[in-house]
Amino acid sequence: MGNELTDITSKMRAHIVKMLAAAGSGHPGGSLSATDIIASLYFKHMRIDPQNPDWADRDRFVLGKGHAAPALYAALAIRGFFPEEELMTIRKLGSRLQGHPCRTDTPGVDMSTGSLGQGLSVANGMALAGRVDGRDYWVYCVMGDGEIQEGQVWEAAMSAGHYGLDRVIAFVDHNGLQIDGANTEVMGVEPIDQKFVAFGWHTQRIDGHDLDAIDAAIEAAKAAKGKPSVIVCETTKGKGVSFMEDVVDWHGVAPSQEQAQAAVNEILAR
Protein backbone atom coordinates (compact mmCIF):
# COMPACT_ATOMS: atom_id res chain seq x y z
CA MET A 1 0.00 0.00 0.00
CA GLY A 2 3.05 2.26 0.43
CA ASN A 3 3.38 3.73 -3.06
CA GLU A 4 -0.38 3.70 -3.55
CA LEU A 5 -0.93 5.65 -0.33
CA THR A 6 1.75 8.15 -1.35
CA ASP A 7 -0.08 8.65 -4.64
CA ILE A 8 -3.33 9.17 -2.74
CA THR A 9 -1.78 11.84 -0.52
CA SER A 10 -0.53 13.68 -3.61
CA LYS A 11 -3.97 13.47 -5.18
CA MET A 12 -5.56 14.76 -1.98
CA ARG A 13 -3.17 17.71 -1.83
CA ALA A 14 -3.84 18.58 -5.46
CA HIS A 15 -7.58 18.48 -4.80
CA ILE A 16 -7.19 20.68 -1.70
CA VAL A 17 -5.34 23.38 -3.62
CA LYS A 18 -7.70 23.29 -6.60
CA MET A 19 -10.90 23.36 -4.58
CA LEU A 20 -9.77 26.29 -2.44
CA ALA A 21 -8.74 28.24 -5.52
CA ALA A 22 -12.17 27.56 -6.98
CA ALA A 23 -13.86 28.72 -3.77
CA GLY A 24 -11.67 31.78 -3.35
CA SER A 25 -11.53 31.19 0.40
CA GLY A 26 -10.61 28.51 2.92
CA HIS A 27 -7.70 27.06 4.86
CA PRO A 28 -4.90 25.46 2.85
CA GLY A 29 -2.11 25.38 5.46
CA GLY A 30 -3.71 23.13 8.06
CA SER A 31 -5.46 21.01 5.44
CA LEU A 32 -2.15 20.16 3.81
CA SER A 33 -0.45 19.45 7.15
CA ALA A 34 -3.17 16.95 8.14
CA THR A 35 -3.35 15.16 4.78
CA ASP A 36 -1.06 12.24 5.58
CA ILE A 37 -2.84 11.49 8.85
CA ILE A 38 -6.29 11.54 7.24
CA ALA A 39 -5.14 9.50 4.24
CA SER A 40 -3.66 6.82 6.50
CA LEU A 41 -6.95 6.50 8.34
CA TYR A 42 -9.33 6.49 5.38
CA PHE A 43 -7.28 4.32 3.06
CA LYS A 44 -5.64 1.87 5.44
CA HIS A 45 -7.14 1.73 8.91
CA MET A 46 -10.78 2.75 9.09
CA ARG A 47 -13.59 0.23 8.76
CA ILE A 48 -16.07 2.14 6.60
CA ASP A 49 -18.44 1.53 3.70
CA PRO A 50 -18.94 4.36 1.18
CA GLN A 51 -22.15 2.66 0.04
CA ASN A 52 -23.50 2.71 3.59
CA PRO A 53 -22.15 5.86 5.29
CA ASP A 54 -24.33 5.38 8.38
CA TRP A 55 -23.35 1.74 8.97
CA ALA A 56 -23.70 1.23 12.72
CA ASP A 57 -20.43 -0.70 13.05
CA ARG A 58 -18.28 1.73 11.07
CA ASP A 59 -15.27 3.41 12.63
CA ARG A 60 -15.92 7.07 13.44
CA PHE A 61 -13.85 10.14 12.53
CA VAL A 62 -14.10 13.56 14.17
CA LEU A 63 -12.20 16.48 12.65
CA GLY A 64 -11.80 18.75 15.67
CA LYS A 65 -9.99 21.31 13.51
CA GLY A 66 -12.99 21.63 11.23
CA HIS A 67 -11.39 24.33 9.09
CA ALA A 68 -9.25 21.53 7.58
CA ALA A 69 -12.42 20.20 5.93
CA PRO A 70 -10.82 20.26 2.43
CA ALA A 71 -8.50 17.39 3.46
CA LEU A 72 -11.45 15.39 4.78
CA TYR A 73 -13.54 16.07 1.68
CA ALA A 74 -10.70 15.02 -0.59
CA ALA A 75 -10.35 11.71 1.27
CA LEU A 76 -14.10 11.06 1.25
CA ALA A 77 -14.36 11.77 -2.48
CA ILE A 78 -11.42 9.58 -3.47
CA ARG A 79 -12.75 6.85 -1.16
CA GLY A 80 -16.06 6.94 -3.04
CA PHE A 81 -18.52 8.66 -0.71
CA PHE A 82 -19.39 11.20 -3.42
CA PRO A 83 -18.02 12.13 -6.89
CA GLU A 84 -14.63 13.82 -6.99
CA GLU A 85 -16.08 16.43 -9.35
CA GLU A 86 -18.25 17.65 -6.47
CA LEU A 87 -15.14 18.89 -4.65
CA MET A 88 -15.12 21.97 -6.85
CA THR A 89 -18.44 23.08 -5.32
CA ILE A 90 -16.88 23.66 -1.89
CA ARG A 91 -18.18 26.76 -0.08
CA LYS A 92 -20.73 27.41 -2.83
CA LEU A 93 -24.36 28.19 -1.98
CA GLY A 94 -26.33 24.94 -1.93
CA SER A 95 -23.25 22.70 -1.95
CA ARG A 96 -23.02 19.66 0.31
CA LEU A 97 -19.43 20.70 1.01
CA GLN A 98 -19.36 23.77 3.20
CA GLY A 99 -16.37 25.46 4.83
CA HIS A 100 -16.64 23.21 7.86
CA PRO A 101 -17.92 19.61 7.96
CA CYS A 102 -21.67 19.10 8.29
CA ARG A 103 -22.93 15.70 9.45
CA THR A 104 -26.42 16.12 8.00
CA ASP A 105 -25.32 17.28 4.54
CA THR A 106 -22.15 15.42 3.61
CA PRO A 107 -21.98 11.63 3.16
CA GLY A 108 -19.26 10.16 5.38
CA VAL A 109 -19.04 13.06 7.83
CA ASP A 110 -19.66 11.76 11.36
CA MET A 111 -19.76 15.09 13.19
CA SER A 112 -20.31 18.76 12.39
CA THR A 113 -17.24 20.61 13.62
CA GLY A 114 -15.62 24.01 13.48
CA SER A 115 -15.99 25.36 17.00
CA LEU A 116 -12.51 24.48 18.16
CA GLY A 117 -12.06 22.33 21.24
CA GLN A 118 -15.25 20.29 20.98
CA GLY A 119 -14.10 17.37 18.85
CA LEU A 120 -12.49 15.24 21.56
CA SER A 121 -15.57 15.51 23.77
CA VAL A 122 -17.69 14.23 20.88
CA ALA A 123 -15.22 11.40 20.23
CA ASN A 124 -15.51 10.40 23.89
CA GLY A 125 -19.29 10.33 23.62
CA MET A 126 -19.12 8.11 20.54
CA ALA A 127 -16.76 5.72 22.32
CA LEU A 128 -18.98 5.57 25.40
CA ALA A 129 -22.00 4.88 23.19
CA GLY A 130 -20.11 2.06 21.51
CA ARG A 131 -19.26 0.61 24.90
CA VAL A 132 -22.91 0.74 26.01
CA ASP A 133 -24.10 -0.77 22.72
CA GLY A 134 -21.46 -3.50 22.74
CA ARG A 135 -19.89 -2.36 19.46
CA ASP A 136 -16.18 -2.57 18.68
CA TYR A 137 -15.68 0.44 16.41
CA TRP A 138 -12.74 2.81 16.81
CA VAL A 139 -13.15 6.56 17.17
CA TYR A 140 -10.44 8.76 15.65
CA CYS A 141 -10.13 12.49 16.35
CA VAL A 142 -7.73 14.94 14.70
CA MET A 143 -7.05 18.16 16.61
CA GLY A 144 -4.92 21.17 15.80
CA ASP A 145 -2.10 22.30 18.07
CA GLY A 146 -3.74 25.72 18.37
CA GLU A 147 -7.00 23.94 19.16
CA ILE A 148 -5.55 22.29 22.25
CA GLN A 149 -5.28 25.73 23.83
CA GLU A 150 -9.01 25.30 24.46
CA GLY A 151 -9.82 24.23 28.02
CA GLN A 152 -12.52 21.81 26.89
CA VAL A 153 -9.85 19.64 25.28
CA TRP A 154 -8.29 19.00 28.68
CA GLU A 155 -11.64 18.31 30.33
CA ALA A 156 -12.19 15.73 27.60
CA ALA A 157 -8.70 14.34 28.07
CA MET A 158 -9.37 13.91 31.79
CA SER A 159 -12.71 12.24 31.08
CA ALA A 160 -11.28 9.81 28.51
CA GLY A 161 -8.53 8.81 30.92
CA HIS A 162 -10.97 8.38 33.79
CA TYR A 163 -13.28 6.12 31.79
CA GLY A 164 -10.45 4.20 30.14
CA LEU A 165 -11.71 4.93 26.63
CA ASP A 166 -9.28 2.69 24.79
CA ARG A 167 -11.30 2.88 21.55
CA VAL A 168 -10.39 6.58 21.24
CA ILE A 169 -7.28 7.44 19.23
CA ALA A 170 -6.54 11.15 18.97
CA PHE A 171 -4.01 12.94 16.78
CA VAL A 172 -2.52 16.37 17.38
CA ASP A 173 -1.53 18.00 14.09
CA HIS A 174 1.46 19.86 15.53
CA ASN A 175 2.51 22.19 12.72
CA GLY A 176 3.51 24.93 15.15
CA LEU A 177 1.43 27.70 13.56
CA GLN A 178 -2.07 29.06 14.07
CA ILE A 179 -4.01 31.99 12.67
CA ASP A 180 -2.26 34.60 14.85
CA GLY A 181 1.26 33.21 14.56
CA ALA A 182 3.45 30.58 16.17
CA ASN A 183 2.06 28.55 19.08
CA THR A 184 5.10 29.55 21.11
CA GLU A 185 4.11 33.22 20.78
CA VAL A 186 0.32 32.95 21.02
CA MET A 187 -0.01 30.36 23.80
CA GLY A 188 2.63 27.69 24.35
CA VAL A 189 1.29 24.14 24.18
CA GLU A 190 4.35 22.07 25.08
CA PRO A 191 5.00 19.60 26.57
CA ILE A 192 1.99 18.09 24.77
CA ASP A 193 2.87 14.44 25.32
CA GLN A 194 3.57 14.85 29.03
CA LYS A 195 0.23 16.59 29.55
CA PHE A 196 -1.65 13.65 28.03
CA VAL A 197 0.42 11.18 30.06
CA ALA A 198 -0.67 13.05 33.19
CA PHE A 199 -4.29 12.45 32.20
CA GLY A 200 -3.69 8.72 31.81
CA TRP A 201 -3.21 8.47 28.04
CA HIS A 202 -0.96 6.21 26.00
CA THR A 203 1.18 8.77 24.18
CA GLN A 204 3.43 8.75 21.11
CA ARG A 205 5.23 11.48 19.15
CA ILE A 206 6.06 10.90 15.48
CA ASP A 207 6.81 12.52 12.13
CA GLY A 208 3.30 13.24 10.90
CA HIS A 209 4.33 13.03 7.25
CA ASP A 210 6.01 9.61 7.52
CA LEU A 211 3.31 7.17 6.40
CA ASP A 212 5.12 4.17 7.89
CA ALA A 213 5.46 5.96 11.23
CA ILE A 214 1.76 6.87 11.21
CA ASP A 215 0.83 3.28 10.44
CA ALA A 216 3.03 1.89 13.22
CA ALA A 217 1.72 4.45 15.73
CA ILE A 218 -1.90 3.56 14.98
CA GLU A 219 -1.15 -0.14 15.47
CA ALA A 220 0.61 0.63 18.76
CA ALA A 221 -2.35 2.74 19.87
CA LYS A 222 -4.77 -0.08 19.13
CA ALA A 223 -2.64 -2.42 21.24
CA ALA A 224 -2.77 -0.11 24.29
CA LYS A 225 -5.55 -1.56 26.43
CA GLY A 226 -7.42 0.24 29.17
CA LYS A 227 -6.46 3.80 28.21
CA PRO A 228 -7.06 6.26 25.35
CA SER A 229 -4.23 7.00 22.93
CA VAL A 230 -2.86 10.20 21.47
CA ILE A 231 -0.36 10.51 18.63
CA VAL A 232 1.41 13.87 18.53
CA CYS A 233 2.29 14.37 14.88
CA GLU A 234 5.10 16.78 14.02
CA THR A 235 3.95 18.32 10.75
CA THR A 236 4.62 21.24 8.40
CA LYS A 237 1.95 23.83 7.69
CA GLY A 238 1.27 23.84 3.95
CA LYS A 239 3.13 20.55 3.43
CA GLY A 240 3.81 19.75 -0.22
CA VAL A 241 3.70 23.28 -1.60
CA SER A 242 7.06 25.00 -1.17
CA PHE A 243 5.75 28.57 -1.09
CA MET A 244 3.15 27.64 1.56
CA GLU A 245 5.33 25.54 3.86
CA ASP A 246 5.81 27.05 7.34
CA VAL A 247 4.20 30.33 6.29
CA VAL A 248 1.50 31.41 8.72
CA ASP A 249 -0.16 33.65 6.14
CA TRP A 250 -1.43 30.52 4.37
CA HIS A 251 -3.51 29.51 7.38
CA GLY A 252 -6.72 30.94 5.96
CA VAL A 253 -6.00 32.43 2.53
CA ALA A 254 -6.90 30.66 -0.70
CA PRO A 255 -4.42 30.55 -3.59
CA SER A 256 -5.12 32.30 -6.86
CA GLN A 257 -5.68 30.16 -9.93
CA GLU A 258 -2.08 30.82 -11.00
CA GLN A 259 -0.72 29.90 -7.58
CA ALA A 260 -2.91 26.82 -7.48
CA GLN A 261 -1.63 25.59 -10.84
CA ALA A 262 1.97 26.08 -9.74
CA ALA A 263 1.22 24.21 -6.50
CA VAL A 264 -0.49 21.32 -8.29
CA ASN A 265 2.43 21.01 -10.72
CA GLU A 266 4.83 20.84 -7.77
CA ILE A 267 2.72 18.30 -5.87
CA LEU A 268 2.28 15.96 -8.83
CA ALA A 269 5.96 16.21 -9.80
CA ARG A 270 7.09 14.58 -6.53
Write down the mean pLDDT value for the chain: 97
The identity of residue 151, as a single letter, is G
pTM here?
0.97
- CA nearest 82: which of 57, 60, 101? 101
What integer pLDDT is reported at residue 270 of this predicted model? 80
- CA nearest 244: which of 82, 16, 91? 16
Mean per-residue pLDDT, 166-191: 98
What integer pLDDT is reported at residue 5 of this predicted model? 97
Mean per-residue pLDDT, 229-249: 98
Percent of the chain scoring above 70 in pLDDT? 99
Residue 89 has pLDDT above 80, yes or no: yes
Mean per-residue pLDDT, 38-65: 98
Mean per-residue pLDDT, 117-131: 98
What are the DSSP calls for the chain, one per residue? -HHHHHHHHHHHHHHHHHHHHHHT-S-HHHHHHHHHHHHHIIIII----TT-TT-TTS-EEEESSGGGHHHHHHHHHHHTSS-GGGGGGTTSTT-S--SS--TTTSTT--S---STT-HHHHHHHHHHHHHHHT----EEEEEETTGGGSHHHHHHHHHHHHTT-TTEEEEEEE-SEETTEEHHHH-----HHHHHHHTT-EEEEEETT-HHHHHHHHHHHHH-TTS-EEEEEE--TTTT-TTTTT-GGGSS-PPPHHHHHHHHHHHHH-
What integer pLDDT is reported at residue 1 of this predicted model? 59
Domains of the chain: 2-269 (3.40.50.970)
Mean per-residue pLDDT, 38-49: 98
pLDDT in tens, 1-16: 568 999 999 999 999 9
Contact 138, 169 (CB under 8 A): yes
Mean per-residue pLDDT, 122-142: 98
What integer pLDDT is reported at residue 230 of this predicted model? 99
| Three-state SS annotation for 231-254 | EEEECCCCCCCCCCCCCHHHCCCC
